[in-house]
Chains A and B, each alone.
Chain A
Amino acid sequence: MNINRRIFFKTAGVIGVSLAVGSTLGAASPESGEIEFRGILYDSSRCVGCQECEKACAAAHELPEPQDEVKAGVLRKTSETQRCVVNNYNTSKGEVFIRKQCMHCNEPACAAACLTQAMYKTKEGPVIWREEKCMGCRYCMVSCPFDVPKFEYHSANPKIQKCDMCYERILKGDKPTCVNACPGEALVSGTRRELIAEARKRIAETPKAYTDQIYGESTAGGTGYLYLSPVPFNELGFNPKIQNSSYPELSKGFLYSVPSVFVLLPTLLLGIHEATKNNQSKNEEND
């Protein structure tokens, strides 16, 4: 019995510590250090709905060129063949164009959900998907509050499609291809800090042109994609249910309880086992 207990403690210890400590230390946290998160500022008041960004994006990522045109009142959605879309909404200030794609959250739910780190928040800011790691469980799609990751259901070797902020180009110091393609400078790239300062400046300089909010500054714990708009964002199809704190925070409590359960529960069970042992031998004598 002593040997068993020793074996048990060893197994429980080794596995418990590796699982438990691993999950504690691995909790997503923004990178600190020299490199700042990069992002994109989209100013909806400058967007004319020309779809140049959509075309450039499709060309850059070997996806079919979008054929449907932007029409007021017609909702186009990102899909497994389209990583970004521009829509036209009828609002209190007339027709307003709005672009939708991955938000590149500071603390992305998809990356926290991914059990293979295929969804990954790079230290440069973009959230990327890594083909060689993904096992296609689609938990990222369940978790993403913006419903961004799209899955190729009709492929035997399916991929997850979503905007990666042209990570390869960012590594080389280039701008994302959509920013380059935008003729009206509705899209600006830079570090997240610079972009927030720029957005604040625009609101301060022409307060009448904008609603007083930078969407993404605190949404879902802060996102790499930032929005300015002339009208409140709930008029532009943004999900009003999305919270301001980060989403991985929601499962943190559970994950943090794992190490304690892993240490305390076996101890308790072993204790009860020892305590009831005498009972059993007494019962057996009585039988």
Chain B
Amino acid sequence: MTSPSYSIVKDNDGRSIWSFFRSELRPKGKWLTPFNIVSIPIMLLGLGIIIIRFANGIGSVTNLTQETPWGLWIGFDVVTGVAFAGGAYVLTFMVYILKMNKYHSIVRITVLNGCLAYVFYAGALLLDLGRPWNVINPIIGNSFGTSSVLFLVAWHFMLYMMAELIEFSPAIAEWLGARRAHKILSGITIAAVIFGITLSTLHQSGLGALYLMAKDKIHPLWYSEFIPILFLVSSIFAGLSMVIFEGTISRKVFSHQISKKNHHAEKGILHGLSKICAGAMFAYFFLQLLVFIHGKHWDLLNTPMGYWYLFEMIGFVLLPMMLFYYSYRTNNITLIRVAAILTMLGIILNRLNVSVIGFNWDTPVHYIPSWMEIVVTLAVIFTEIWVFRWVINRMPVLRESPSWARNEN
């Protein structure tokens, strides 16, 4: 093979690779921004709580009980967070498999967002594990609990993180100026995409399947044998709403990095996404309706939990679905964003209803997360945003790739 010899890392005026990394680690621009002023104390406080948690046990910082073994850290961080990260598999499907090139400019940021969400929210799982030093048991060794849905989910989380890292890796190669690696990594993108979509299909539904055995514990309005399918379908519009929401913020914060062409393309992208969301939500709503009719729970509607169920279904599924459709027809970008936020609230509501609120809903004492659980959750989210921002400011995620990378194909 006669290929031109590229160095792994670009020549930074004779600087060594270490001084390059050191300069990249330093913050860029002023750091006393309102976001930093809010997030730094919360992250430090969260770190302190995490130390207490490892010293004195989970019970010292959480309100978990023997009846409610999974609380906010699982119900929100993991179950909801992973649904929001679903945008990555939906968008890679649209762009790499269906070749909808219109959405190409937002693939990278979505994959980055998804990848970090998995690392941090699935990583938050470690905080919730009572014996985290054994976390390696389902991966290596002779302790394969292969009849467990959680076994499948754990493997898929790990493999999917790798798949997303491969999908994102060309951006890292461009940052490092590694041309050879860039070529190889771009070449295996499609394999990673196909593998990643398959994994996502299975673990998005798998997160719902976790609750199949808790049949007697989940309120019948939220329990059905179709939870896995409902979780999968809702992850499509949950992920896309996150893409719309995150895009709205990124567009403002990182405005200078986005090329004029992509700024103009944004309207068309949002317009298209709102149509897809409306379609997916219609399918989801229809499925929920079928499940409800099939479950014959008419009598339960006229109870407090029934009102709560209607609140979720009408206020946070039917309403945003109609908003998406209406804003698609009238090309109203602001309304699309409102619909996306409503949809995200609906997803949080739905996942918490299955995993926390509707779980053992009839026990006399009900679980309410402690302030420390909430602080740790916020700290995890803020840390993710910090890393997200660090990457975007350094790697070609929003801005155009260097010319050598674009000319490669």
Interface residues of A (CB under 8 A from B): 4-5, 7-8, 11-12, 15, 19, 22-23, 25-28, 77, 79-80, 109, 111-118, 132-139, 141-143, 145, 147, 150-158, 239, 241-243, 247-248, 250-251, 253-255, 258, 261-262, 265-266, 269-270, 272-273, 276-277, 279-280, 283
A4 near B190 with CB under 8 A, answer yes
With beta carbons under 8 angstroms apart, the residue of B59, B66, B147, B188 that contacts A79 is: B66
Chain A residues lying within 8 Å of B217, measured Cβ to Cβ, are 142, 145
B225 near A135 with CB under 8 A, answer no
A282 to chain B, nearest CB (A): 10
B165 to chain A, nearest CB (A): 14
A31 to chain B, nearest CB (A): 14
A32 to chain B, nearest CB (A): 17
Chain B residues lying within 8 Å of A109, measured Cβ to Cβ, are 213
User: Is B152 part of the binding interface, using a Cβ–Cβ cutoff of 8 Å?
Assistant: yes
Chain A residues lying within 8 Å of B159, measured Cβ to Cβ, are 15
Additional pairs, 13, CB under 8 Å, beyond known A145-B216, A258-B202: A19-B155, A111-B147, A116-B134, A132-B134, A135-B138, A137-B130, A142-B217, A143-B213, A154-B56, A250-B212, A261-B198, A269-B97, A272-B97
A116 near B138 with CB under 8 A, answer yes
Chain B residues lying within 8 Å of A137, measured Cβ to Cβ, are 125, 128-130, 150
* Complexed CA–CA distance, A7 and B97 (Å): 18
Closest chain B residue to A262, Cβ basis: B198
Closest chain B residue to A146, Cβ basis: B216
User: Is B105 part of the binding interface, using a Cβ–Cβ cutoff of 8 Å?
Assistant: no
* Complexed CA–CA distance, A279 and B98 (Å): 10
With beta carbons under 8 angstroms apart, the residue of B69, B96, B205, B228 that contacts A138 is: B69
* Complexed CA–CA distance, A135 and B131 (Å): 4
A273/B209 contact (C-beta < 8 A), A19-B152, A153-B57 known: no
Chain A residues lying within 8 Å of B54, measured Cβ to Cβ, are 156
User: Is B341 part of the binding interface, using a Cβ–Cβ cutoff of 8 Å?
Assistant: no
* Complexed CA–CA distance, A270 and B307 (Å): 45
B324 to chain A, nearest CB (A): 25
B215 near A139 with CB under 8 A, answer no
User: Is B210 part of the binding interface, using a Cβ–Cβ cutoff of 8 Å?
Assistant: yes
Chain B residues lying within 8 Å of A114, measured Cβ to Cβ, are 145, 148
B209 near A138 with CB under 8 A, answer no
Chain B residues lying within 8 Å of A247, measured Cβ to Cβ, are 213, 215
Chain A residues lying within 8 Å of B188, measured Cβ to Cβ, are 4, 7-8
User: Is B58 part of the binding interface, using a Cβ–Cβ cutoff of 8 Å?
Assistant: yes
Residue-wise, chain B 30-49 has the 8 Å CB interface mask toward A (1 for contact) of 00000000000000000000
Closest chain B residue to A12, Cβ basis: B195
* Complexed CA–CA distance, A198 and B352 (Å): 47
A80 to chain B, nearest CB (A): 7
A251 near B149 with CB under 8 A, answer yes
* Complexed CA–CA distance, A239 and B216 (Å): 9
A151 near B228 with CB under 8 A, answer no
Closest chain A residue to B54, Cβ basis: A156
User: Is B194 part of the binding interface, using a Cβ–Cβ cutoff of 8 Å?
Assistant: yes
Chain B residues lying within 8 Å of A117, measured Cβ to Cβ, are 143-145
Chain B residues lying within 8 Å of A80, measured Cβ to Cβ, are 66
B368 to chain A, nearest CB (A): 16
The 3 A-B pairs at the shortest CB distance, nearest first, are namely A136-B130, A153-B59, A26-B146
* Complexed CA–CA distance, A139 and B128 (Å): 11
Chain A residues lying within 8 Å of B98, measured Cβ to Cβ, are 272, 276
A273/B97 contact (C-beta < 8 A), A115-B154, A243-B215 known: yes
A133/B195 contact (C-beta < 8 A), A115-B150, A143-B213, A151-B130 known: no
A81 to chain B, nearest CB (A): 11
Residue-wise, chain B 111-144 has the 8 Å CB interface mask toward A (1 for contact) of 0000000000000010011111011011000011
A7/B228 contact (C-beta < 8 A), A15-B159, A116-B137, A117-B143 known: no
Chain B residues lying within 8 Å of A261, measured Cβ to Cβ, are 198, 201-202
B43-75 CB contacts (< 8 Å) to partner A: 54-60, 62, 64-67, 69-70
User: Is B151 part of the binding interface, using a Cβ–Cβ cutoff of 8 Å?
Assistant: yes
* Complexed CA–CA distance, A154 and B215 (Å): 28
B378 to chain A, nearest CB (A): 22
A254 near B212 with CB under 8 A, answer yes
* Complexed CA–CA distance, A219 and B191 (Å): 47
A269 near B198 with CB under 8 A, answer yes
Closest chain B residue to A16, Cβ basis: B198
* Complexed CA–CA distance, A273 and B192 (Å): 13
Chain A residues lying within 8 Å of B191, measured Cβ to Cβ, are 4-5, 7-8, 11
Chain A residues lying within 8 Å of B132, measured Cβ to Cβ, are 135-136
B209 near A133 with CB under 8 A, answer no
User: Is B170 part of the binding interface, using a Cβ–Cβ cutoff of 8 Å?
Assistant: no
Residue-wise, chain B 240-279 has the 8 Å CB interface mask toward A (1 for contact) of 0000000000000000000000000000000000000000
A23 near B150 with CB under 8 A, answer no
Chain A residues lying within 8 Å of B134, measured Cβ to Cβ, are 116, 132-136
Closest chain B residue to A21, Cβ basis: B146
With beta carbons under 8 angstroms apart, the residue of A11, A145, A258 that contacts B195 is: A11
A27 near B147 with CB under 8 A, answer yes
Chain A residues lying within 8 Å of B125, measured Cβ to Cβ, are 137
Which among A28, A77, A151, A251 has the greatest number of chain B C-beta atoms within 10 A? A251
B294-339 CB contacts (< 8 Å) to partner A: none
A242 near B225 with CB under 8 A, answer no
* Complexed CA–CA distance, A25 and B147 (Å): 8
B195 near A8 with CB under 8 A, answer yes
Closest chain A residue to B151, Cβ basis: A115
Chain B residues lying within 8 Å of A265, measured Cβ to Cβ, are 197-198, 201
